Amino acid sequence: MIRTAGSLLIAIVASFTVAAYSQQPASAPAVVRQELDRVPVEGLSGYEAVTMRTTFPAGAMGSRHVHTGQEFIYVLSGSIVIQSDGEEPLTVKAGEAHMTAPNRVHRVSNPSAAEPCVLVAISMVPRGQPASRTVE
Protein backbone atom coordinates (compact mmCIF):
# COMPACT_ATOMS: atom_id res chain seq x y z
CA MET A 1 0.00 0.00 0.00
CA ILE A 2 2.77 2.46 0.94
CA ARG A 3 4.67 1.51 -2.23
CA THR A 4 1.56 2.20 -4.35
CA ALA A 5 0.91 5.54 -2.63
CA GLY A 6 4.57 6.49 -3.05
CA SER A 7 4.46 5.58 -6.76
CA LEU A 8 1.27 7.56 -7.17
CA LEU A 9 2.80 10.59 -5.43
CA ILE A 10 5.90 10.39 -7.67
CA ALA A 11 3.68 10.15 -10.77
CA ILE A 12 1.65 13.20 -9.69
CA VAL A 13 4.74 15.29 -8.93
CA ALA A 14 6.34 14.23 -12.22
CA SER A 15 3.22 15.15 -14.22
CA PHE A 16 3.04 18.61 -12.60
CA THR A 17 6.76 19.15 -13.25
CA VAL A 18 6.42 18.18 -16.92
CA ALA A 19 3.32 20.38 -17.29
CA ALA A 20 5.11 23.35 -15.71
CA TYR A 21 8.15 23.05 -17.99
CA SER A 22 6.19 22.37 -21.17
CA GLN A 23 4.01 25.48 -21.00
CA GLN A 24 4.65 28.05 -23.71
CA PRO A 25 6.19 31.29 -22.46
CA ALA A 26 3.86 34.26 -22.25
CA SER A 27 3.72 36.07 -25.56
CA ALA A 28 5.53 39.37 -25.86
CA PRO A 29 3.40 42.47 -25.33
CA ALA A 30 1.85 43.85 -28.50
CA VAL A 31 3.08 47.01 -30.15
CA VAL A 32 0.20 49.51 -30.53
CA ARG A 33 0.10 51.69 -33.64
CA GLN A 34 -2.43 54.47 -34.12
CA GLU A 35 -2.71 56.39 -37.39
CA LEU A 36 -3.36 60.00 -36.42
CA ASP A 37 -3.43 61.69 -39.82
CA ARG A 38 -3.00 61.05 -43.56
CA VAL A 39 -2.82 64.09 -45.84
CA PRO A 40 -1.56 64.87 -49.36
CA VAL A 41 1.91 66.42 -49.49
CA GLU A 42 1.79 69.71 -51.39
CA GLY A 43 4.55 69.98 -53.97
CA LEU A 44 5.21 66.22 -53.95
CA SER A 45 2.72 64.79 -56.41
CA GLY A 46 1.44 61.32 -55.64
CA TYR A 47 2.62 61.28 -52.01
CA GLU A 48 0.93 61.68 -48.67
CA ALA A 49 2.21 62.20 -45.13
CA VAL A 50 1.11 59.59 -42.60
CA THR A 51 1.44 60.49 -38.91
CA MET A 52 1.46 57.58 -36.46
CA ARG A 53 1.72 57.29 -32.69
CA THR A 54 3.37 54.01 -31.68
CA THR A 55 3.66 52.54 -28.19
CA PHE A 56 6.14 49.76 -27.48
CA PRO A 57 5.31 48.19 -24.11
CA ALA A 58 8.27 47.18 -21.94
CA GLY A 59 10.14 44.34 -23.63
CA ALA A 60 8.11 44.54 -26.86
CA MET A 61 9.64 43.70 -30.22
CA GLY A 62 8.11 44.62 -33.56
CA SER A 63 8.23 42.44 -36.64
CA ARG A 64 10.84 42.80 -39.37
CA HIS A 65 9.45 45.35 -41.79
CA VAL A 66 10.16 48.04 -44.37
CA HIS A 67 8.63 51.45 -44.91
CA THR A 68 7.15 52.28 -48.30
CA GLY A 69 8.51 55.82 -48.01
CA GLN A 70 10.92 57.80 -45.88
CA GLU A 71 10.06 57.67 -42.16
CA PHE A 72 10.97 60.26 -39.53
CA ILE A 73 10.52 59.35 -35.86
CA TYR A 74 10.69 61.34 -32.64
CA VAL A 75 10.79 59.42 -29.34
CA LEU A 76 8.53 61.03 -26.75
CA SER A 77 9.36 58.70 -23.83
CA GLY A 78 11.52 55.66 -23.18
CA SER A 79 13.88 54.35 -25.83
CA ILE A 80 13.96 51.94 -28.75
CA VAL A 81 16.61 49.87 -30.47
CA ILE A 82 16.50 49.81 -34.27
CA GLN A 83 18.20 46.79 -35.82
CA SER A 84 18.57 47.23 -39.59
CA ASP A 85 19.80 44.26 -41.60
CA GLY A 86 23.58 44.39 -41.95
CA GLU A 87 24.05 47.28 -39.51
CA GLU A 88 24.89 47.75 -35.85
CA PRO A 89 21.89 48.27 -33.51
CA LEU A 90 20.96 51.91 -32.98
CA THR A 91 19.41 53.18 -29.73
CA VAL A 92 17.10 56.20 -29.99
CA LYS A 93 16.13 57.78 -26.64
CA ALA A 94 13.44 60.21 -25.51
CA GLY A 95 14.03 63.60 -27.11
CA GLU A 96 15.94 62.12 -30.06
CA ALA A 97 14.93 61.72 -33.70
CA HIS A 98 15.85 59.30 -36.47
CA MET A 99 15.17 58.85 -40.18
CA THR A 100 14.73 55.48 -41.87
CA ALA A 101 15.14 55.22 -45.63
CA PRO A 102 12.46 53.48 -47.72
CA ASN A 103 12.72 49.71 -48.13
CA ARG A 104 15.39 49.27 -45.42
CA VAL A 105 14.60 46.00 -43.63
CA HIS A 106 14.68 46.51 -39.87
CA ARG A 107 13.13 45.55 -36.54
CA VAL A 108 12.40 47.84 -33.59
CA SER A 109 12.35 46.77 -29.94
CA ASN A 110 12.01 48.32 -26.50
CA PRO A 111 15.03 47.26 -24.43
CA SER A 112 13.46 48.27 -21.11
CA ALA A 113 11.94 45.61 -18.87
CA ALA A 114 9.84 48.23 -17.07
CA GLU A 115 9.24 51.37 -19.15
CA PRO A 116 7.14 51.67 -22.32
CA CYS A 117 8.39 53.68 -25.27
CA VAL A 118 6.13 56.12 -27.10
CA LEU A 119 7.10 57.71 -30.40
CA VAL A 120 5.59 59.72 -33.21
CA ALA A 121 6.43 58.76 -36.78
CA ILE A 122 5.78 60.71 -39.97
CA SER A 123 6.14 58.77 -43.21
CA MET A 124 6.10 60.18 -46.73
CA VAL A 125 4.47 57.37 -48.72
CA PRO A 126 3.06 56.90 -52.19
CA ARG A 127 -0.64 57.82 -52.10
CA GLY A 128 -2.80 54.96 -50.83
CA GLN A 129 0.12 52.81 -49.67
CA PRO A 130 0.56 51.59 -46.10
CA ALA A 131 3.27 53.28 -44.05
CA SER A 132 5.02 49.91 -43.62
CA ARG A 133 4.79 46.25 -44.54
CA THR A 134 6.07 43.13 -42.78
CA VAL A 135 8.81 41.08 -44.41
CA GLU A 136 10.02 37.53 -43.74
- Mean pLDDT confidence for 55-80: 96
In a domain, 17, yes or no: no
In a domain, 1, yes or no: no
Q: What is the pLDDT of residue 136?
A: 86
In a domain, 6, yes or no: no
- List Cβ neighbours of 57 (8 Å cut-off, separation of 6 or more): 29, 30, 31, 32, 110, 116
Query: 117: domain range?
Result: 32-134
Total domains in the chain come to 1
CA distance to 6, 57, 104, per residue, from 136 (Å):
51, 23, 13
- Exposure string (b/e) for 96-105, b if CB count within 10 Å is 16 or more? eebebeeebe
In a domain, 84, yes or no: yes
Q: What is the pLDDT of residue 26?
A: 55
In a domain, 5, yes or no: no
In a domain, 63, yes or no: yes
Instruction: Tell me the pLDDT tens digit for each residue of 6-48.
Output: 333 333 333 333 333 233 235 668 999 999 999 999 999 999 9
In a domain, 66, yes or no: yes
Q: What is the CATH number of the domain that holds 116?
A: 2.60.120.10
In a domain, 56, yes or no: yes
